[in-house]
Structure 1
Amino acid sequence: MASIELKAVEKWFGNVQVIKGVDLAIEEGEFIIFVGPSGCGKSTLLRMIAGLEETSRGQILIDGRDATAEAPSQRGLTMVFQSYALYPHMSVRDNMGFSLKAAGEPKDKIAAKVDHAAEVLKLGAYLDRRPKDLSGGQRQRVAIGRSIVRDPTAFLFDEPLSNLDAALRVEMRYEIAKLHQSLSATMIYVTHDQVEAMTLADRIVVLEGGKIAQIGAPRELYEHPANLFVAQFIGSPKMNVFSAGLVRGAVGGEQAAQIGIRPEHISVVEPGAGEMDGQVDVIEYLGADTFLIVDCGAAGRITVRTDGESARSPGDPVGLLFAPGKIHAFDAAGQAI
């Protein structure tokens, strides 16, 4: 396991700065996830930690050692990419042990490490198969196993589940969570999927435009977003946001320019009985939940999460009542009040 620290790291491509002075301390055994929209710099930051991208300014420390100028092979890290990059002509066993064989490790040591990784990842029955005979999820497990056998100080994952279908992504999220529990290894994981971030991370690093917008545990980011960007990025469906002047009553104080409320913190009441009135526009039935998309005029469309038994119909006039203590207020600069 390794602690990793970034000190004011920057990355420039010519005259374009893509990482803008990032400071971050990652503890031993911690599961950290970089999340943000496309182009925010999350994969670039991961590649800088791996040594695959040069750090323009600042320092990268691994276990207190300055690794900024070290080659990737010297850092003791291992990376799992979006593509599996398996050798098609090799068996699962040979794919997983290839890096050790190339390094000149003894055959018995290689076999022991491969068998251990296969046991952890439940790949024992597939060791003699070739990649073409495996499902997408099994191939990704082989790619992870190839990293485990190297006994790295930390694992780096670059959107490892994005090539899988929805059902396999759920399965592999479980596998990666169990892997972290069993290995207690330091893991840094990049994704654009905030559901992956919420379900896997010890702490989430939300990136916006090459800077850290907020760092915190999933619950902290969900319940106490530091700004409007984080408030709307974390959570599905996203937080409803509208002008503070459109809400009945003194909500958020005089400094509030915008008000935010999550869909599950709104109750449907009779018109006039809540903070806002509107008309049901669209109903999205999902079984246990029903989402009501309510047209609230100048406030726009407000999403309300109700139970699956909701009897509302399109065109129904409704009032929206906001749960006390669950209203988020933001100033004119988008910062939480």
Structure 2
Amino acid sequence: MGSIHLKNVEKWFGEVQVIKGVDLDINDGEFVVFVGPSGCGKSTLLRMIGGLEDTSRGAIEINGNDVTDQPPSKRGLAMVFQSYALYPHMSVRDNMGFSLKTAGASKQEQKEKVDHAAAVLKLETYLDRRPKDLSGGQRQRVAIGRSIVRDPTAFLFDEPLSNLDAALRVEMRHEIAKLHQSLKATMIYVTHDQVEAMTLADKIVVLEYGVIAQVGSPRDLYENPANLFVAQFIGSPKMNIMPASARSGGYDLPGHRGDDYPVNAATAHLGIRPEHITIGPAGSGQCDAKVEVTEFLGADTFLLCDGGELGQINVRINGDSDKQVGDIIGLNFDRDRVRTFNADGLAVSN
């Protein structure tokens, strides 16, 4: 079992409140990702769960037991940090088995657990090497293996891939996903990287200034953001947001045609993802825009367009497109994909 429940937890540093009353249920075996901009409190919240930061108010339960005031060693959790924190004078085997040794485990138990973790992480051929003889990705796998041997209630990852180059990040992301599928263990993962959040998570927790902006599956957050913050934080490139107003039987866009598709009367903003816009000749669709930048990415091309009073509009189209900078194009929004928000930035149903 590895269920974790946060009940109105708060964290204060002096007179500054960093975590502002968070309620969250993490189920056994879930892969939960905390994501948000720098300073939103995601690492602080993770450290509170791990016991590395005191909880100012509220309660933290693990498997139904209140651990709010318990030290890290009593919580049965394992943490993996940005820094590998490996002992340079020890072999991979000794690094992975060190916690078992200090806990008084027999040599046979140490060997069995280290061999099992090494097999899971494909480190069998590196057990006699020292950290200096490993790549960054291999060192991170050793750090993860050191956690696996403890058979923890849950794994806590604090931006573990941020020190790796782009190729290694992709490789290690795949390794962590396979590790979760293999161990079926509860994992909580902190990152600012949306790709990591979208590809790894069963459930994403989006944090904004110490409060939860939205909790849901990657698809839920991408397709149905609860507010403008989530709409523009989740997704790369982000959702296009433009001013709009409801009218009888449709909506208006300032300086442009809008559509006869009816929207909620409270609509003040309209959102549409770049891939949910099709292009046509000027005068077609909901608005016209001028192509300012083209970004060719192979299979896709992104058109960064000037929508006048609507601001910059990003459009994702087929990579074979012949559109050029300076072209005036019509933008047609997929009606089923249009999202609307009120003046307070909250999503409203059409």
Q: Deviations over 1:127-153 (max 9, x none)?
A: 001111111100000000000000101
Structure 1 residue 249 displacement after superposition: 2.4
Structure 1 residue 250 displacement after superposition: 4.5
Instruction: Find the aligned partners of 2:46 and 2:195 in 1 and give their Cα distance.
Output: 19
Who is 1:61 aligned against?
Answer: 61
Who is 1:249 aligned against?
Answer: 259
Q: Deviations over 1:2-39 (max 9, x none)?
A: 10000000000000000000000111111100000000
Who is 2:303 aligned against?
Answer: 292
Instruction: Find the aligned partners of 1:59 and 1:175 in 2 and give their Cα distance.
Output: 33
Instruction: Find the aligned partners of 2:266 and 2:77 in 1 and give their Cα distance.
Output: 47
Which residue identity is paired with 1:260? G
User: Any gaps of 5 or more consecutive residues in structure 2?
Assistant: 245-252
Instruction: Find the aligned partners of 1:143 and 1:316 in 2 and give their Cα distance.
Output: 52
Who is 1:258 aligned against?
Answer: 269
Instruction: Find the aligned partners of 1:140 and 1:43 in 2 and give their Cα distance.
Output: 19
Q: Deviations over 1:49-68 (max 9, x none)?
A: 00000000000000000000
Who is 1:38 aligned against?
Answer: 38
What is the number of equivalent residue pairs in this alignment?
Answer: 337
Who is 1:109 aligned against?
Answer: 109
Equivalences for 1:298-337 in 2 at 5 Å?
Answer: 298-337=309-348
Equivalences for 1:184-223 in 2 at 5 Å?
Answer: 184-223=184-223
Structure 1 residue 269 displacement after superposition: 0.7
Which secondary structure does the structure 2 equivalent of 1:18 belong to? strand
Which secondary structure does the structure 2 equivalent of 1:198 belong to? helix
Which residue identity is paired with 1:249? D
Which secondary structure does the structure 1 equivalent of 2:336 belong to? coil
Instruction: Find the aligned partners of 1:293 and 1:300 in 2 and give their Cα distance.
Output: 10
Structure 1 residue 301 displacement after superposition: 1.3
Q: Percent identity?
A: 71
User: Any gaps of 5 or more consecutive residues in structure 1?
Assistant: none
Which residue identity is paired with 1:154? A
- Residue in structure 2 matching 1:283, options 291, 294, 302: 294
Q: Deviations over 1:93-145 (max 9, x none)?
A: 00000111111111110011000000000000000011111111000000000
Structure 1 residue 194 displacement after superposition: 1.1
Structure 1 residue 241 displacement after superposition: 0.6
Instruction: Find the aligned partners of 1:28 and 1:96 in 2 and give their Cα distance.
Output: 25
Instruction: Find the aligned partners of 1:253 and 1:176 in 2 and give their Cα distance.
Output: 42
Who is 2:164 aligned against?
Answer: 164
Who is 1:271 aligned against?
Answer: 282
1:239 lines up with 2:249 in the alignment = no
* Runs of 4 or more above 6 Å deviation: none
Structure 1 residue 71 displacement after superposition: 0.6
Structure 1 residue 253 displacement after superposition: 3.5
Query: Larger deviation: 292-301 or 221-230?
Result: 292-301
Instruction: Find the aligned partners of 2:260 and 2:267 in 1 and give their Cα distance.
Output: 10
Which residue identity is paired with 1:209? Y
User: TM-score normalised to the size of structure 2?
Assistant: 0.95
Which residue identity is paired with 2:259? G
Who is 1:25 aligned against?
Answer: 25
Which residue identity is paired with 2:208? E
